[in-house]
Structure 1
Amino acid sequence: MKHLTILVPEVQTGPNTLSCIVGTYHIFTEANRYYHQNHDKTMFKIELVGLSKQSVFLNGLLAVMPQKEITDIIKTDLIVIPAVAPNFTALDAQNTPFLDWIRNQYTHGANVASMCTGAYILASTGLLEKKNCSIHWSAETNFKQLFPNITMKTDSIITDEEGICTNGGGYSFLHLLIYLVEKYYDRPTAIYCSKIFQIDLDRQQQSDFVIFNGQKRHGDEMIIKAQEYIEHNFAEKISIQQLSERFTVGRRNFDRRFIKATGNTPIEYLQRVKIESAKKELEISGKTVNEVMYEVGYSDSKAFREIFRKVTGLSPLAYRNKYNKSAMK
């Protein structure tokens, strides 16, 4: 029988931390039951593992009592790291004992999976260096700044590389769990769990869930003004060259500072602002795709569709049909 460790952080927790812990325990317990029923054996021994006998969540409203402490676990096969608080800057000292333990278990053959912002703990081990990583789209900029040698794949629900899995944000951890059930049990067990828990099977992207808000906590006042200019005038024809001249900065230096501050080139930023406005119109208005396209400053329908699909993973029409109830009538 394999061993599954569900980590229980000591501090830096949030509401989704508890959801990830309970969800993992629930789904793997049901997968065990179904697999035993069909194969007469249990795949995993499942244990909640922490740094003490009790961890408190949600300002003391709830508490989790891990079955074991990490010092009791000599060998495990799969480690699941739940989401942590999104305002992460560095791992709290109370949680740092996890790092050596995770590294040691991985070295001795364990696989590791992080859920949403649990990627912060995983990245702090160094095991994600030069690997791909998915995380909640709202944490991408902060994560890039803290861990610049990790390749972000925030359009993906799941990454899986060299025994290390990561996944996107919110309740997309449920898709990771179904993926892990198929990986460790089999396809029939994954299908069964997807039906019992009503989780879409094989979901691959989180792109259409992204809400673009330009990162402005970078401290470069000139770039903040440039961002605000773009956001207020995106429907007009904006020349990036003229924009740099507006702020009396050479184009190359302007581009360099813009990328450093926002993580996007000025052109990418302008495109993201246009597409975010288009998404909102497609969600709530009765306007046609072409009307929305012209309103946000595009005149080439092919270019608009290509950029929209690149950003959201859907065509403008598919996006409207998915999110606008009036479009489905």
Structure 2
Amino acid sequence: MVKDRSVIQIWIIAYKTAQKAAIYGLADLFSMAEYACAAKQKIKVEIISDEALYSVGKEIPNVIILPPSLDKIPNRSDNQNLLKFLLHYHEQGCILASICAGTFILAETNLLNNREATTHWAYAEIFKYTFPNVIIKEDKILIDDGDIITAGGMMAWIDLGLRVVERFLDRSIMLRTTQFMLIDPPRKLQSSYINFMPKYNHGDKAILKAQRWLLNTNLRKVTVKDLVNQSGLEERTFLRRFKKSTKLTPKAYLQHFKIERARNILASTNASIDQISWEIGYADTSSFRKNFTKITSLTPREYRRKYGIKT
């Protein structure tokens, strides 16, 4: 059926474990966008359950959205009918969009193969293992690749919804929608939200011994050599096994570990930047600032302003 160009058709899939707050939040956001454009553009939102996939009308929607999942990662065996449904409408020119763990469902269609996509940073490793042909960019909150849009994080439905408004209406309407709803325009990065989560379940006892030692040691003078000594391994063996176990070189691991410690101190104390830099083993504060900004996409001062406990 030919689309009525005066109406933007948006379907939100209420699959079994989909987050209801995202489903109805998106519906409200699009309603506000319609209000923001003074009724010059009609937005029709339909919430479609698994049972109703093949009872929808013959019209082709502009966008189909897969919300986040409350069960973290959707069960692959539950989605066979949904996958056929998504592929059918994508072939008809419909844009497919996913949020957080919803990207796991979208990836099962193979439409993401050899393309960039994002999901929640905490699911990135298992996503890479499950879908090795997808170029996952967990540092990004939103990736708009034309016919496919992916967003990371359970609350990234706001960012995705605003991006859809911007594409089908215009930027001014999107910004007016944010003003009505008292929310920020779409964010770009997850970097400042990502916690460093070391891998401890790799099964290499020597590497684990070094990791656990690091948890309770003074970081001011820690070096890679100290980690080698704690492991009891020959250096070349340690470097090879450490990278295999943690997916990071010892140098990169130490850097991420120190920056994570700095994040905690910045958020919970009023210690000066110089003092924190010294506390975690940076003799040069400018080097600390540079590495902190590289990893979190915020300067230490910006990070404290955003996440620090006000005292």
Q: Using structure 1 for the length normalisation, give the TM-score.
A: 0.83
Cα shift at 1:278: 0.7
Match of 2:149 among 128, 143, 165: 165
Matches within 5 A, 1:48-87: 48-52=47-51, 68-70=52-54, 72=56, 74=58, 75-85=60-70, 87=72
Q: Which residue of 1 aligns with 2:127?
A: 143
**Paired residues of 2:158 and 2:186 also in contact (CA < 8 A):** no
Partner Cα separation in structure 1 for residue 94 and residue 155 of structure 2 = 24
Give 1:197 deviation, angstroms: 1.4
The match for 1:285 is: 269
Q: Does 1:18 align with 2:20?
A: yes
Contact 1:234–1:274 (CA under 8 A) maintained in structure 2: no
Report the equivalent of 2:117: 133
Q: 1:112 aligns with which of 72, 96, 111?
A: 96
Aligned length: 304
What is the CA-CA distance between 1:249 and the residue it aligns to?
4.5
Instruction: Tell me, in whole angstroms, the C-alpha distance in 1 between the residues paired with 2:133 and 2:234.
Output: 29
Query: Paired residue for 1:47?
Result: 46
How far 1:105 moved relative to its partner? 1.8
Q: In the aligned structure 1, how far is the partner of 2:180 from the partner of 2:63? A: 23
Secondary structure at the aligned position of 1:171 is classed as coil
Could you say which residue in structure 2 is the equivalent of 1:62? Answer: none
Measured in 2, the distance between the counterparts of 1:80 and 1:34 equals 21
CA separation of 1:127/1:285 partners in 2, compared to 1, >3 Å: closer, same or farther? same
Q: CA separation of 1:130/1:265 partners in 2, compared to 1, >3 Å: closer, same or farther?
A: farther
Task: Provide the rounded CA distance (Å) in 2 between the counterparts of 1:205 and 1:322.
Answer: 14
Consecutive unaligned residues of structure 1, counting only runs of 5 or more, are 53-67
Pairwise CA RMSD of aligned residues? 2.4
- Give me the whole-angstrom Cα distance separating, in 1, the residues matched to 2:23 and 2:160: 13
Partner in structure 1 of residue 183 of structure 2: 199
Instruction: State how far apart, in whole Å, the 2-side matches of 1:212 and 1:70 are.
Output: 43
Task: State the Cα distance separating 1:141 from its structure 2 match.
Answer: 2.0
| Distance of aligned partners of 1:8 and 1:309 in 2 relative to their CA distance in 1, 3 Å threshold | same
The separation in 2 between residues aligned to 1:146 and 1:265, in whole angstroms, is 23
2: CA distance between counterparts of 1:167 and 1:151? Answer: 14
Distance in 1 (CA, whole Å) between partners of 2:80 and 2:166 is 31
The answer to whether structure 1 residue 267 and structure 2 residue 254 are counterparts is: no
Amino acid across the alignment from 1:83? P
Q: Which residue of 1 aligns with 2:4?
A: none
Q: Is the 8 A contact 1:231 1:273 kept in 2?
A: no
Paired residue for 2:260?
276
Taking the aligned partners of 1:234 and 1:109, their CA distance within structure 2 comes to: 57
Secondary structure (helix, strand or coil) at the match of 1:93 reads helix
**Structure 2: how far apart are the matches of 1:237 and 1:284?**
23
Take 1:183 and 1:260, find their aligned partners in 2: how far apart are those partners? 43
Q: How far off is 1:300 after superposition?
A: 1.5
Identical aligned pairs, as a percentage?
A: 30
